[in-house]
Amino acid sequence: MALTFYWYPNCGTCKKAKKWFEEHNVDFQSIHIVEETPTKDELIDLISKSELPAKKFFNTSGKKYRELNIKEKIKDASTEEMADILASDGMLIKRPIVTDGSKVTVGFKEDQFEEMWLKN
């Protein structure tokens, strides 16, 4: 089964992850995270499967994150509230997000990708 790869084509980290998949012959379907931003429910599902705190799904180095002062807005927010904010703009989401339907990774770390996506 192909992995689902949420990415932003201009993102350097996403390009590295895509190249890694291609070099390792990993089958994936890419979804442009800004043009097809995951819904609140999809994000809640991804967050729960990732076993990461919802705050880890924010692109904290992004311009919009700083402009909208998201750090303050999510300080005491619930997962539901954070998913709502994330679903409002794909540029707020840390990327890439990769899932096989049961496991999820956020960002790109080669050792993590090897462990999660090669040893299936």
89, 81 contact by CB (below 8 A): no
- Per residue of the chain (120 residues), give pLDDT as tens: 699 999 999 999 999 999 999 999 999 999 999 999 999 999 999 999 999 999 999 999 999 999 999 999 999 999 999 999 999 999 999 999 999 999 999 999 999 999 999 965
pTM: 0.94
* CATH number, position 45: 3.40.30.10
83, 58 contact by CB (below 8 A): no
- For residue 29, the SS3 value is strand
Range of the domain at 103: 3-118
What is the count of structural domains for the chain? 1
